Amino acid sequence: VENPRLHDSHWLKTFRKRFRMPYDEFKSILDKISDPSHLWSHNFARWSHANSTRRHSPISLLLLGTLRYLGRGWTFDDVYEATGISQEVHRTFFHLFVDFGSTTLYNEYIASPENANEAA
């Protein structure tokens, strides 16, 4: 994630297959939850470099773990094995991300049909 191969179509396809979204969408979501000016940023602040003097888990790995949990049916133990970040930290982040996704991301990406033609 730190050094993506954006011009390598195989890498991009593999990323999409593993995380069930294109890399650009992942970056967009990561930017939203990392941006201190974003409405939801205070909820994710505990994982922000700027707001912590303690060691913290990289928010990018937490997001990738959440995407694997959602998209590939991984368990929090599987995510722990892959990232070295505790199951409890992943679980806490996951629940916060689901709240974020069901409100902010839902409103941004989902449009309900307004008439019968749109519904067809």
Integer-rounded Cα Rg, in Å, for the chain is 16
Whether residue 96 is predicted with pLDDT greater than 80 in this model: the reply is yes
Q: What percent of the chain has pLDDT over 70?
A: 84
Mean pLDDT of 98-102: 90
- Banded model confidence at residue 81, pLDDT cuts 50, 70, 90: very high
Query: Which of 92, 77, 53, 69 minimizes the C-alpha distance to 20?
Result: 69
Sign of torsion over alpha carbons 110, 99, 41, 79: negative
pLDDT at 70: 94
Query: Which 8-state DSSP code applies to residue 19?
Result: H
pLDDT in tens, 38-74: 666 667 766 665 555 666 788 999 999 999 999 999 9
38-45, long-range: CB < 8 A, 24+ apart? 39/104, 40/100, 40/104, 43/96, 43/99, 43/100, 44/96, 44/100
pTM: 0.80
What pLDDT shows up at residue 83?
94
